[in-house]
Amino acid sequence: MSEKLQKVLARAGIGSRREMEQVISAGRVSVDGEIAKLGDRVEESAVLRVDGKVIAVRKESEAICRVLAYHKPEGEVCTRKDPEGRPTVFERLPKMRNARWIAVGRLDLNTSGLLLFTTDGELASRLMHPSYELEREYAVRIFGEVTKEMLQNLKKGVMLDDGLASFDSIVNAGGEGQNHWYHVTLHEGKHREVRRLWESQGVLVSRLIRVRYGNTLLPRRLPHGAWMELPLEDVNVLRKTVALDEETRTVLDPSKEKENKPNSHRLRRTADRSRTRQNQRRGNSQTKRKGR
């Protein structure tokens, strides 16, 4: 049976379904040597290429939906490669064959906290789609005086450059002096929305941490820069939330609980290697500039 081309590419782990639609529309995909167009359906035997590179197509029955919870530190960018040589969120993730990790949304350079990754492009696409209205929760440290009027404005709605925005809820989490913590929730993912909302009231966001995405909480003992794979039960909670069938398989061994816990020592070594690579790239760039 044939399937939609963007669905097959998303399952191959190249990106989300929406991203694949854009790639197809740009004429970067070919099917059996012919440039594909949006709306094409393909058979299992088809040879698919993206930017001329053959894509290993997986049958739906062969693909296992995996999800990682990653504790993003400040200073990492949410791209696979950065032209400025900055560390990326993908550098510390476990390597895979014939599959790729797809980020569920993004976090700004100066924002830390929970970032989900999955091998299932359809799951990633639905988790990000506005129609499912998945709630995001952030812990925010505010510098400046916050009044009741400000809180009312933020819940009622503030007109930003790209439209009306508001928080679904705001909870006072304590603090001293000019620094105060709040927990806020919203169900949109506009660029820098949390920061822009607070800044519209004349106060400064000095720390921003995402602590929840949908029903998935940032694990308490997960260090910065560490990841852990979600067990099958938690994966299916996410899938159910966006009306996808249950996954029945997992790569985790329930009898070996340690395999599903963050390995801080391994992660520190991975981080050190990442920093070494970044320094080498910066050094090479500086050498090239001097040569010119």
Q: Which residues are catalytic?
A: 108
Coil/strand/helix, residue 7: helix
Distances 23 to 4, 7, 17, 200 between C-alpha atoms, Å: 14, 12, 10, 36
**Are residues 150 and 198 in contact, defined by beta-carbon separation less than 8 angstroms?**
no
**Are residues 226 and 166 in contact, defined by beta-carbon separation less than 8 angstroms?**
no
Angle between helices 232-241 and 121-128 (to 10 degrees): 50
Task: Provide the token pair at 69.
Answer: 């919870």
Kindly give, in sequence order, each residue whose CB lies less than 8 Å from that of residue 274, ignoring residues fewer than 6 positions away: 87, 91, 92
